Amino acid sequence: MSTYTIERAVDIDAPVEVVWRTITEPDQVLRWFSDAADIEPRPGASGTLTFRRGGEGDPSVVNLTVVDVDPPHRYSFRWNYPSDAIANPANSLLVTFTLSPVGPERTSLRVEETGLDALDWPDEQKDAYAEEHRQGWQTLADRLEKLLAPTRD
């Protein structure tokens, strides 16, 4: 395993179909991941995610290309590549969501971001990216878990 592999796993109190919709449908992505989402869960589709980073400065727009869609079990995309390029393993990172039902009302979600080793970045930049994204996926997984938690009286 690469030093730069970024992983997070979480069990969510929601059926796999609900978690699937929440990670793939643009209006749902806005609830837990980004400030704007122009995506279509179809292999080869291009799109963008926009992050406003707490409202400070100009928003950051990230290009993405959907790689794999296997409802409701696997969804992956490449992101963080130059806007004038086509995503490929040498210029982008691969984010993969793997969903597994744990009974009828619970889902195990695993997020993995790979490909940092192949990028032509200095080690310091790779280290900083990996640390930032490890923390980021932790925060996002926690946010998703809370969003889909059933309300209890």
Spell out the domain ranges in the chain: 6-23+68-148
Superfamily name with CATH number, domain 6-23+68-148: START domain (3.30.530.20)
Over residues 74-111, the pLDDT tens digits come to 999 999 998 889 999 999 999 999 999 998 899 999 99
pLDDT tops 80 at residue 153: no
Over residues 5-58, the pLDDT tens digits come to 899 999 999 999 999 999 999 999 999 999 999 999 999 999 999 998 666 678
Which residues does 56 contact at the CB level (< 8 Å), separation at least 6?
A: none
pTM, two decimal places? 0.92
What pLDDT does residue 107 have?
Answer: 97
